[in-house]
Amino acid sequence: MSVWHRLTWAAHRTQPMAESLLQIKELRAWYGPSQALHGIELDVPRGEIVTLLGRNGAGKSTLLKSVMGIVPRRSGSIRLDGRELIDLPPHRIGHAGVAYCPDDRGIYATLTVRENLLLPPVVAPGGMSEAELMGLFPNLEARKRSAGTQLSGGEQQMLAIARILRTGARVLLLDEPTEGLAPVIVERIGDLLQQLKQRGYTILLVEQNLQFAAELADRHYLVETGRVVDHYDRAALVSNLQQLASRLGV
Protein backbone atom coordinates (compact mmCIF):
# COMPACT_ATOMS: atom_id res chain seq x y z
CA MET A 1 0.00 0.00 0.00
CA SER A 2 1.43 3.33 -1.07
CA VAL A 3 1.65 6.25 1.29
CA TRP A 4 -1.04 8.03 -0.67
CA HIS A 5 -3.35 5.05 -0.38
CA ARG A 6 -2.62 4.77 3.25
CA LEU A 7 -3.54 8.39 3.80
CA THR A 8 -6.84 8.23 1.94
CA TRP A 9 -7.62 4.92 3.59
CA ALA A 10 -7.00 6.44 6.95
CA ALA A 11 -8.94 9.54 6.01
CA HIS A 12 -12.30 7.87 5.75
CA ARG A 13 -11.80 5.96 8.91
CA THR A 14 -10.44 8.54 11.23
CA GLN A 15 -12.08 11.67 9.96
CA PRO A 16 -12.54 13.89 13.00
CA MET A 17 -16.01 13.56 14.42
CA ALA A 18 -18.26 16.06 16.02
CA GLU A 19 -18.60 15.58 19.76
CA SER A 20 -20.01 12.14 20.43
CA LEU A 21 -23.44 12.18 22.05
CA LEU A 22 -23.92 8.42 22.34
CA GLN A 23 -20.80 6.44 23.03
CA ILE A 24 -20.84 2.66 23.19
CA LYS A 25 -17.86 0.62 24.36
CA GLU A 26 -17.32 -3.11 24.85
CA LEU A 27 -21.06 -3.76 24.65
CA ARG A 28 -21.93 -7.42 25.04
CA ALA A 29 -25.43 -8.89 25.20
CA TRP A 30 -26.88 -12.34 25.75
CA TYR A 31 -30.17 -14.12 25.14
CA GLY A 32 -29.96 -16.89 27.69
CA PRO A 33 -26.73 -18.80 27.06
CA SER A 34 -26.18 -17.45 23.55
CA GLN A 35 -24.18 -14.28 23.12
CA ALA A 36 -25.61 -11.86 20.55
CA LEU A 37 -23.20 -8.91 20.86
CA HIS A 38 -19.44 -9.41 21.22
CA GLY A 39 -18.00 -6.08 22.28
CA ILE A 40 -19.64 -3.39 20.15
CA GLU A 41 -17.76 -0.09 19.85
CA LEU A 42 -19.46 2.86 18.25
CA ASP A 43 -19.98 6.60 18.47
CA VAL A 44 -22.96 8.63 17.43
CA PRO A 45 -21.99 12.30 17.07
CA ARG A 46 -24.43 14.96 18.15
CA GLY A 47 -26.85 16.00 15.42
CA GLU A 48 -25.87 13.28 12.96
CA ILE A 49 -27.75 10.41 11.39
CA VAL A 50 -25.82 7.17 11.82
CA THR A 51 -26.88 3.87 10.29
CA LEU A 52 -26.20 0.33 11.31
CA LEU A 53 -25.81 -1.89 8.26
CA GLY A 54 -25.59 -5.64 8.26
CA ARG A 55 -27.29 -8.86 7.35
CA ASN A 56 -30.28 -10.23 9.20
CA GLY A 57 -29.25 -11.63 12.54
CA ALA A 58 -26.02 -9.61 12.68
CA GLY A 59 -27.13 -8.01 15.95
CA LYS A 60 -28.34 -4.58 14.81
CA SER A 61 -31.73 -4.79 16.51
CA THR A 62 -30.15 -6.33 19.59
CA LEU A 63 -27.78 -3.37 19.70
CA LEU A 64 -30.68 -0.89 19.84
CA LYS A 65 -32.50 -3.02 22.43
CA SER A 66 -29.33 -3.22 24.50
CA VAL A 67 -29.06 0.56 24.57
CA MET A 68 -32.66 0.68 25.83
CA GLY A 69 -31.92 -2.01 28.40
CA ILE A 70 -34.58 -4.42 27.15
CA VAL A 71 -32.39 -7.46 26.53
CA PRO A 72 -32.12 -10.13 29.24
CA ARG A 73 -28.43 -9.46 30.01
CA ARG A 74 -25.79 -7.03 28.82
CA SER A 75 -22.46 -5.55 29.89
CA GLY A 76 -20.06 -2.84 28.80
CA SER A 77 -20.55 0.88 28.67
CA ILE A 78 -23.23 3.07 27.09
CA ARG A 79 -22.73 6.78 27.65
CA LEU A 80 -25.26 9.40 26.74
CA ASP A 81 -23.72 12.85 26.85
CA GLY A 82 -21.15 11.43 29.25
CA ARG A 83 -23.70 9.80 31.56
CA GLU A 84 -23.39 6.03 32.02
CA LEU A 85 -26.65 4.18 31.25
CA ILE A 86 -25.62 0.54 31.54
CA ASP A 87 -26.68 0.11 35.16
CA LEU A 88 -29.99 1.97 34.91
CA PRO A 89 -33.34 0.12 34.79
CA PRO A 90 -35.06 0.49 31.38
CA HIS A 91 -37.57 3.15 32.46
CA ARG A 92 -34.73 5.37 33.70
CA ILE A 93 -32.96 5.06 30.35
CA GLY A 94 -36.08 6.38 28.64
CA HIS A 95 -36.04 9.31 31.03
CA ALA A 96 -32.39 10.00 30.26
CA GLY A 97 -33.48 11.15 26.80
CA VAL A 98 -33.20 8.18 24.43
CA ALA A 99 -36.32 7.09 22.55
CA TYR A 100 -36.79 3.86 20.67
CA CYS A 101 -38.94 2.80 17.75
CA PRO A 102 -38.90 -1.02 17.36
CA ASP A 103 -38.81 -2.89 14.06
CA ASP A 104 -42.36 -4.18 14.48
CA ARG A 105 -43.34 -0.51 15.11
CA GLY A 106 -44.71 -1.44 18.52
CA ILE A 107 -48.19 -0.01 18.02
CA TYR A 108 -50.56 -1.10 20.77
CA ALA A 109 -53.76 -2.82 19.62
CA THR A 110 -55.54 -2.09 22.90
CA LEU A 111 -54.82 1.64 22.73
CA THR A 112 -56.40 4.15 20.39
CA VAL A 113 -54.22 6.11 17.99
CA ARG A 114 -54.33 9.09 20.32
CA GLU A 115 -53.54 6.96 23.38
CA ASN A 116 -50.60 5.47 21.48
CA LEU A 117 -49.38 8.97 20.70
CA LEU A 118 -49.74 10.22 24.28
CA LEU A 119 -48.40 7.10 26.01
CA PRO A 120 -44.67 7.87 26.26
CA PRO A 121 -44.13 10.35 29.08
CA VAL A 122 -42.44 13.68 28.33
CA VAL A 123 -38.87 13.33 29.59
CA ALA A 124 -37.43 16.71 28.62
CA PRO A 125 -38.69 20.07 27.40
CA GLY A 126 -38.55 20.81 23.69
CA GLY A 127 -40.62 17.91 22.36
CA MET A 128 -43.32 18.54 19.80
CA SER A 129 -46.85 19.23 20.98
CA GLU A 130 -49.78 16.99 20.13
CA ALA A 131 -51.17 19.69 17.81
CA GLU A 132 -47.85 20.05 16.04
CA LEU A 133 -47.61 16.29 15.48
CA MET A 134 -51.19 16.03 14.27
CA GLY A 135 -50.33 18.80 11.80
CA LEU A 136 -47.25 16.92 10.66
CA PHE A 137 -49.19 13.65 10.31
CA PRO A 138 -52.75 14.57 9.29
CA ASN A 139 -53.74 10.91 8.82
CA LEU A 140 -53.32 10.39 12.54
CA GLU A 141 -55.60 13.30 13.40
CA ALA A 142 -58.34 11.84 11.19
CA ARG A 143 -58.14 8.44 12.85
CA LYS A 144 -57.21 9.30 16.41
CA ARG A 145 -60.07 7.31 17.92
CA SER A 146 -59.36 4.09 16.00
CA ALA A 147 -57.43 1.24 17.57
CA GLY A 148 -53.73 1.71 16.86
CA THR A 149 -53.34 -1.44 14.81
CA GLN A 150 -56.20 -0.52 12.49
CA LEU A 151 -53.89 1.97 10.76
CA SER A 152 -52.07 1.00 7.58
CA GLY A 153 -48.42 -0.05 7.84
CA GLY A 154 -47.22 3.38 6.74
CA GLU A 155 -49.51 5.17 9.19
CA GLN A 156 -48.38 2.89 12.00
CA GLN A 157 -44.77 3.77 11.21
CA MET A 158 -45.63 7.48 11.27
CA LEU A 159 -47.39 6.98 14.61
CA ALA A 160 -44.43 5.06 16.01
CA ILE A 161 -42.09 7.92 15.13
CA ALA A 162 -44.56 10.67 16.07
CA ARG A 163 -45.05 9.37 19.60
CA ILE A 164 -41.35 9.52 20.44
CA LEU A 165 -41.08 13.07 19.08
CA ARG A 166 -43.48 14.24 21.78
CA THR A 167 -41.20 13.18 24.62
CA GLY A 168 -38.40 15.69 24.18
CA ALA A 169 -35.83 12.90 23.83
CA ARG A 170 -33.03 14.12 21.55
CA VAL A 171 -31.57 10.74 20.60
CA LEU A 172 -33.79 8.51 18.49
CA LEU A 173 -33.11 4.82 17.87
CA LEU A 174 -35.09 3.71 14.83
CA ASP A 175 -35.18 0.06 13.84
CA GLU A 176 -35.88 -0.32 10.10
CA PRO A 177 -38.48 2.41 9.74
CA THR A 178 -38.85 1.75 5.99
CA GLU A 179 -39.27 -2.02 6.15
CA GLY A 180 -42.18 -3.33 4.10
CA LEU A 181 -43.45 0.11 3.09
CA ALA A 182 -44.34 1.44 -0.35
CA PRO A 183 -41.67 3.60 -2.06
CA VAL A 184 -43.71 6.77 -1.72
CA ILE A 185 -43.97 6.25 2.06
CA VAL A 186 -40.26 5.42 2.26
CA GLU A 187 -39.61 8.76 0.62
CA ARG A 188 -41.81 10.54 3.15
CA ILE A 189 -39.95 8.92 5.99
CA GLY A 190 -36.66 9.98 4.41
CA ASP A 191 -37.91 13.58 4.26
CA LEU A 192 -39.07 13.36 7.84
CA LEU A 193 -35.68 12.14 9.06
CA GLN A 194 -33.98 14.99 7.17
CA GLN A 195 -36.31 17.44 8.89
CA LEU A 196 -35.55 15.89 12.26
CA LYS A 197 -31.84 16.20 11.61
CA GLN A 198 -32.28 19.88 10.77
CA ARG A 199 -34.08 20.30 14.06
CA GLY A 200 -31.01 18.93 15.80
CA TYR A 201 -32.09 15.39 16.59
CA THR A 202 -29.45 12.68 16.74
CA ILE A 203 -30.54 9.46 15.06
CA LEU A 204 -29.21 5.92 15.16
CA LEU A 205 -30.89 4.01 12.39
CA VAL A 206 -30.97 0.32 11.53
CA GLU A 207 -31.47 0.12 7.79
CA GLN A 208 -31.45 -2.66 5.19
CA ASN A 209 -32.16 -0.28 2.33
CA LEU A 210 -28.63 0.72 1.33
CA GLN A 211 -29.76 3.41 -1.09
CA PHE A 212 -31.96 4.99 1.57
CA ALA A 213 -29.11 4.91 4.07
CA ALA A 214 -26.59 6.33 1.61
CA GLU A 215 -28.75 9.34 0.83
CA LEU A 216 -29.59 10.11 4.41
CA ALA A 217 -26.86 9.27 6.84
CA ASP A 218 -23.61 10.96 7.80
CA ARG A 219 -21.92 7.83 9.00
CA HIS A 220 -22.37 4.08 8.73
CA TYR A 221 -21.32 1.13 10.84
CA LEU A 222 -21.20 -2.35 9.40
CA VAL A 223 -22.24 -5.03 11.92
CA GLU A 224 -21.39 -8.71 11.48
CA THR A 225 -22.02 -11.47 14.04
CA GLY A 226 -22.35 -9.08 16.94
CA ARG A 227 -19.30 -6.92 16.14
CA VAL A 228 -18.71 -3.63 14.37
CA VAL A 229 -16.38 -4.72 11.55
CA ASP A 230 -16.13 -1.53 9.54
CA HIS A 231 -17.30 2.01 9.36
CA TYR A 232 -17.68 4.56 6.59
CA ASP A 233 -18.46 8.22 6.31
CA ARG A 234 -20.91 9.41 3.69
CA ALA A 235 -18.36 9.68 0.84
CA ALA A 236 -16.68 6.37 1.60
CA LEU A 237 -20.01 4.59 1.56
CA VAL A 238 -20.88 5.94 -1.85
CA SER A 239 -17.54 4.87 -3.31
CA ASN A 240 -17.83 1.43 -1.71
CA LEU A 241 -21.50 0.89 -2.45
CA GLN A 242 -21.00 -2.00 -4.87
CA GLN A 243 -18.63 -3.90 -2.64
CA LEU A 244 -20.81 -3.30 0.39
CA ALA A 245 -23.95 -4.46 -1.39
CA SER A 246 -22.37 -7.82 -2.09
CA ARG A 247 -21.15 -8.01 1.48
CA LEU A 248 -24.67 -7.43 2.77
CA GLY A 249 -26.12 -9.83 0.24
CA VAL A 250 -28.55 -7.28 -1.13
Partner 1 sequence: MSEIFGMPLSVIAGQTMLGLVNGCFYAVLSLGLALIFGLLRIVNFAHGAFFMAGAFVAWMLFHFFGVNYWWSMLLVPLMVGLVGALFERTMLSRLRRLDPIYGLLLTFGLVLVLEGGFRLLFGSSGKPYPVPDLLKGTVQLGFMVLPIYRGWVIVAALIACALSWWVIERTPLGAQLRAATEKDALTQSFGINVPRLLTLTYGAGIGLAAFAGVLAAPILHVNPSMGSDLVIVVFAIVVIGGMGSIFGSIVTALGIGIIEGWTKVFYSEASSTIIFVLMAMVLLLRPRGLFGREGSS
- Give every CB contact of residue 105 below 8 A, 6+ residues apart in sequence: 153, 156, 157, 159, 160
Q: Which of residues 211-250 bind partner 1 (CB under 8 A)?
A: none
Tell me how far, at minimum, the Cβ of 126 lies from partner 1, in Å: 15
- Of the ranges 31-39, 49-57, 117-125, 225-233, which one interacts with partner 1 (CB under 8 A)? 117-125
Phi first, then psi: give them for residue 85, nearest 5 degrees: -105, -15
SS3 of 1, please? coil
Q: Strand 98-101's sheet: what is its strand order?
A: 98-101, 171-175, 202-206, 49-53, 219-224, 227-233
What is the radius of gyration, based on Cα positions, of the chain? 18
Nearer to partner 1, 53 or 71 (CB): 71
# binding residues, partner 1 (CB under 8 A):
26
CA angle 113, 168, 50 (to 5 degrees): 95
Nearer to partner 1, 104 or 132 (CB): 104
Site map for partner 1, 148-177, x if CB under 8 A? ----------------x--x----------
Establish if 109 lies at the interface with partner 1 (CB under 8 A): yes
Calpha distance 63→222 (Å, rounded)? 12
Establish if 88 lies at the interface with partner 1 (CB under 8 A): no
Start-end of H helices in the chain: 3-14, 60-68, 90-96, 113-118, 130-136, 138-142, 153-165, 183-198, 210-216, 234-239, 241-248
Q: Which of residues 51-80 bind partner 1 (CB under 8 A)?
A: 68-70
Q: Which of residues 171-210 bind partner 1 (CB under 8 A)?
A: none
Tell me how far, at minimum, the Cβ of 17 lies from partner 1, in Å: 27
- Of the ranges 48-56, 76-84, 95-103, 134-142, which one interacts with partner 1 (CB under 8 A)? 95-103
**In this chain, which of 17, 18, 123, 136 binds partner 1, going by CB under 8 A?**
123
Binding site for partner 1 (CB under 8 A): 68-70, 89-95, 99-100, 102, 106, 108-111, 115, 118-121, 123, 164, 167
